[in-house]
Amino acid sequence: MSRSGIVQYAGFTSKPIVREYCFLVRDVSSEPREFTFAIPNEAFRSHRVRYQDAPEICSIKLHRELAEQLDHPLKTHYRITDIELNNYRDSHLS
């Protein structure tokens, strides 16, 4: 098991303004923690992000947040920014 535990994708919920992606982080030292990531629906409609890429984008952000965690508790809700979407797209251009 990694330092951050086991990360499990738990699905998404479509809402009027955003799609929310849920992840569970499990480790032996604590109860499972739930993290939610929101991506604006407009980003999908404008083709700045593909639906099939959204869980990976959120997972990348979650792993980054877990790696940067020191002695402060993590937030449980995050919003994926335009910069993060652009960085993902740019890093996956063929």
| Distance (Å, whole) CA 64 – CA 48 | 21
pLDDT for the residue numbered 70? 62
Find out whether 33 and 25 touch, Cβ atoms under 8 Å. yes
| Distance (Å, whole) CA 78 – CA 62 | 9
pLDDT for the residue numbered 1? 38
Residues of the chain with pLDDT under 70: 1-4, 70-73, 94
Q: Domain coordinates of the chain in residue numbers?
A: 6-91
Find out whether 44 and 51 touch, Cβ atoms under 8 Å. yes
| Distance (Å, whole) CA 22 – CA 24 | 7
Task: For tokens 């993290």, name the residue.
Answer: 35
Tell me if the pTM is above 0.85. yes
pLDDT for the residue numbered 21? 98
pLDDT for the residue numbered 28? 76
